Structure 1
């Protein structure tokens, strides 16, 4: 028995203390220390200068635009990301592997190239823009389109493995017991998809908040209209106003963290509720 217990304790990578220490050191150097320096630099400004920079009307307008378009893009990606993952998982059709590969294209495509391409397509003389009765490029709608483009893969790739590992016997049992297809999806499939879908939404939302390259071209960068918060940070840096850029970054970081925390709490609460039921 002692030999069996000892063999079970063996790990592929031995040394919990060593691996934990290296992981903590890596995360500190790459994530924690750089983020903490934002707060250090902001603390040197003083409260009056900090609030003066972050509550500037032009900056506040950029906050609202960034969060509004990111939230809208995340919701659109949540719906259509689940739909695309469902189609790629549940059906077999020609060119399926090719379409599945296209989902990852926003990951590989440089954001500046994506921004130029979307601006060209949706401009008034573009292939798609000329067919629409309203303007897309250089409007908040154009920003939302760019954010949908960069955020879609996060939802698809989070939901797809859940659908692939889903036990079809459970779904068949629900149907055999008299449940309609909608009831089966709502009571059997949807509860298992929701945590992964929320994770994908959170990742897509976080990516959208910090997106710059694909948005800066299609937005037009008009103050109080199409100027996003990441652009305000870059503008302050170009003006050598490093304190204001840091203050804006701190506000974006805190608001993003708060929203992600709320989403994680909802996931935890829903997971416990689903497990108890």
Structure 2
């Protein structure tokens, strides 16, 4: 059938809004929710000047709090990367009693208020708690120490790793594992050369989400940490203390430092994700 050219025909309009409208709404939303608040945060501490800013963020108490927040968040994310992967693997590959209950419990840190989580962890790991009284004779003290901070951050970060890796494991073709086994690969070789390259980008994503969530965690940490300056005081608590002292510029200076450090670390993780995707051929 011959279609006549119609130079003045109006193009068909799509049901979905066009690029101009969607892009404008997206940029406006991002500006109001993300960019403007971040710009205000970055601009506030510079009223102190460069010397004042550096003086605020290089105080021993601030450096100790930043070191604990980022160090504990990194260790918690590493622990979750290992055990979160094991838990996701168990939920996907095996059937066992109360499997659905375990699968639902994984999401509990999402729904549980952070203050409630902190109180529960403190009651468990305190010297007179159910777990703390077992660890105390062994010389292990969890509550009111940096170890307690790591425990709390591991607790709140676990679902991010499990829920990120679990769908990838469910979509993983088991025929690839069977083919590797038929070619003589051991279980370890099959995991390292077939499974791990496929799930590594998702695992890094879960690690990044758990780390980002843990760095700014406040409610579940302040109860179990003990909040001793230079020992178990986290950076978010120090920001709250500065705000209570009406030192808004000092609080913003600590916040900007955390923002920059988090941005650099997340950028490195994103670069690793891109590299692993290329390496795995995804």
Q: TM-score, normalised by structure 1?
A: 0.94
Match 1:104 to one of 101, 104, 107: 107
Per the alignment, residue 89 of structure 1 pairs with: 92
Contact 2:115/2:220 (CA < 8 Å) preserved in 1?
yes
Q: Distance in 1 between matches of 2:116 and 2:61?
A: 28
Match 1:249 to one of 251, 255, 264: 255
1:65 maps onto 2:68 in alignment: yes
1:16 maps onto 2:22 in alignment: no
Per the alignment, residue 155 of structure 2 pairs with: 149
Per the alignment, residue 271 of structure 1 pairs with: 277
Q: Distance in 1 between matches of 2:127 and 2:58?
A: 35
Structure 2 counterpart SS, 1:44: helix
Give the 3 Å change call, closer, same or farther, for CA 169–43 of structure 1 in structure 2: same
1:37 maps onto 2:43 in alignment: no
Shift in Å, 1:12: 6.5
Shift in Å, 1:172: 1.1
CA RMSD of aligned residues (A): 1.7
Structure 2 counterpart SS, 1:45: helix
Q: Distance in 2 between matches of 1:184 and 1:10?
A: 51
Q: Distance in 2 between matches of 1:188 and 1:115?
A: 39
Shift in Å, 1:173: 1.1
Task: String of CA shifts for 1:27-56, please: whole Å, max 9, x gaps.
Answer: 111111111111111222211111111111
Match 1:205 to one of 200, 205, 211: 211
What are structure 1's unaligned runs of at least 5 residues?
A: 4-8
Which deviates more from structure 2 when the two are superposed, residues 164-173 or residues 254-263? 164-173
Q: Distance in 2 between matches of 1:215 and 1:273?
A: 38
Rg larger for: 2
Q: TM-score, normalised by structure 2?
A: 0.92
Q: Runs in 1 of length 4+ with deviation above 6 angstroms?
A: 9-12
Q: Distance in 1 between matches of 2:65 and 2:271?
A: 27
Per the alignment, residue 170 of structure 2 pairs with: 164
What are structure 2's unaligned runs of at least 5 residues?
A: 4-11
Per the alignment, residue 6 of structure 1 pairs with: none
Alignment of 1:165-204 (within 5 A): 165-204=171-210
Contact 2:197/2:279 (CA < 8 Å) preserved in 1?
no
Per the alignment, residue 121 of structure 1 pairs with: 124
